[in-house]
Structure 1
Amino acid sequence: MNRSKAINFMVKCAMLAAIAVVLMQFEIPVIPAFPFLKLDFSDVPALLGGFALGPIAGVVIEAFKVFLDMIVSGTVTAGVGEVANFLIGASFVYPAALIYHKRKSFSFALISMLIATASMVIFGVLANYFILAPLYGMAPEAIPAYIVGGALPINLIKGAAISLVTLVSYKKLSPIIKKENIMIRKKVA
C-alpha cells in the first residue's frame, strides 16, 4: 500500500471511529436485571468500514473507537469494560467483514451477519465466563445466571440491531466510504 492509500485508509478508519464514539454516548438499557448492559450502535461504523475497506479496517475502527472513548469519557471499570467492548465488537465485525469480502452480495451480507452474531454470542459467553466477569469481581456462583440472563441476550439483541442498521444503510453509505480519496486537494497552478 502506497503512502497516500495508507493515509487515506487511516483517515477513513479514524473518521468512522469518531462517529462510533458519538454513537457510544447514546446507550439504551435493555435488560433490567443487568442495567450496566446497554445497547449502543457504535459497532455499526466499524461494520460499515469492515464491509467497505476490509476486515482489518473493521478491527482498527473498533480499536480506535475504544481508545477515543477512553480519552473522551474515561473509564469507570479500570479498563475492563473497554477491553470487553473491543473484544466482543471485534468478534462480530471481523467475521462479518471477512465472509462478506469472499462474495459481496446481499445474501452473503445477511449470512455474514448471522454468523457474526453467533460468533459474538459464543465469544461473549466464553469471554464473560472465563475473563470479564471474574475481572469485574463477580462471584463465581453468580456468573452462570449473569451469562444466561444478561450476556447471552444482550449480544443476540446487539447483533440483530447492528445487522439491521447496517443492512439498511450500507448500500447508501458505501460509495462515500469507498471513495478513492476523501481528502480535498488543491491544484497548484
Structure 2
Amino acid sequence: MKELFNTKNLVLMAVFAALGGVLMLWEFPIPFIAPGFYEMDLSEVPVLIGSFIAGPVAGVIMEAVKIIIKIMIKGTSTAYVGDFANFCIGCCFIVPASIIYKKIKTKKGALIGVCAGTVFMAVAGVVLNYFIMIPFYVKAFGTPLDGILAAGKSINPLVGNKLSFTIVCVAPFNIIKGVIDSIITFLLYKRISTFIKSIGHK
C-alpha cells in the first residue's frame, strides 16, 4: 500500500483522474441503442490505463477523483445520485479489468480483463438503473415512467416495462461503451506505459 502512494503513483493518479474528469464534460449519445438522455463519454479510458499501470485500488481512487473534478467543473444535475451511479458503474468496469491484468500481464490478460469489466459494467448498469436511477428520475423530477419506456420502445420494440428497458437499452449501451473504451485503451496503453516506465528510469 505504501508503494501505491509513492510520488510517481500520486502524480500518475492525479494526471489520469484529471484527464477523466475533463473527458466527462464531452458526452455524446448512442441514439440507435438507447434514448438520447443516456450519453457516454471516454472518461474511463485514462482511468483504465492508470489502473493497468498502478492497480485496481488506484483505479478506484482515480474514479472517485474524476467524479469530484467533474462535479467541481460542471456541477450535478441529479442531486449527486447520477454521479454516485457513474462511480459505481465505472468501478465495475475498471476494477475487474485491472485485477485480471495484474494477475495475467499479457495482451490476453488485458483482453480477458476488459471483457470481464464490460460484462460487470453492463450488469451494474441494469441493476442501478432499475433500482435507483429510473425511480429517482420519476420521483425527483416528475419524469413519467411511460415517457422513459416510450423513448426506449421507439428504438427497440422489445421494451415493454422497466426491466426490459434496462436489459435491451441500458445493457447494450454500457457494452458498447466498454468496447469503445477498451479499443482506445489497447491503442494507447503500450505507448503510455512505456513512456511512464522510461520516466522512472531517468
How does the TM-score come out when normalised to structure 2? 0.81
Determine the structure 1 residue equivalent to 2:14. 14
SS of the residue aligned with 2:6? helix
Which residue is 1:111 aligned to? 112
Q: Distance in 2 between matches of 1:57 and 1:3?
A: 11
Kept in 1, the 8 Å contact 2:29–2:36? The answer is yes
Kept in 2: contact 1:31–1:150 (CA 8 A): no
Deviation per CA, 1:125-147, whole angstroms, max 9, x where unpaired? 11211222222226498522431
Q: 1:52 touches 1:178 (CA, 8 Å); kept in 2?
A: no
1:40-67 alpha-carbon deviations (Å, 9 max, x no partner): 1000011001100001111111100000
Q: Aligned partners of 1:134 and 1:177: how far apart in 2?
A: 44
Residue ranges of structure 2 left out of the alignment (5+ in a row):
150-160
Cα distance, 1:179 vs structure 2 = 5.5
- Secondary structure of 1:25's counterpart equals coil
Aligned partner of residue 41 in structure 1, secondary structure: coil
Residue matched to 2:30: 30
- Using a 3 Å threshold, how does the CA distance of structure 1 residues 179 and 14 change in structure 2: closer, same or farther? farther
Written as runs of structure 1 = structure 2, the 5 A alignment for 1:57-136 is: 57-136=58-137
Task: Choose the corresponding residue for 2:165, options 146, 152, 169.
Answer: 146
8 Å CA contact retained: 1:50, 1:57: yes
Taking only aligned residues, the RMSD between alpha carbons, in angstroms, comes to 2.4
One-letter amino acid matched to 1:18: A
The CA distance in 2 between the partners of 1:95 and 1:131, in whole Å, is 23
Structure 2 residue 189 is the aligned partner of structure 1 residue 170: yes
TM-score, scaled to structure 1:
0.87
Identity, in percent, stands at 38
Greater relative contact order, per chain length (Cα 8 Å cut-off, separation 6+): 1
Gaps of 5+ in 1: 185-189
Distance across 1 between alignment mates of 2:134 and 2:117: 22
Deviation at 1:4, TM superposition (A): 9.9
Output the CA distance in 1 between the equivalents of 2:137 and 2:50: 31
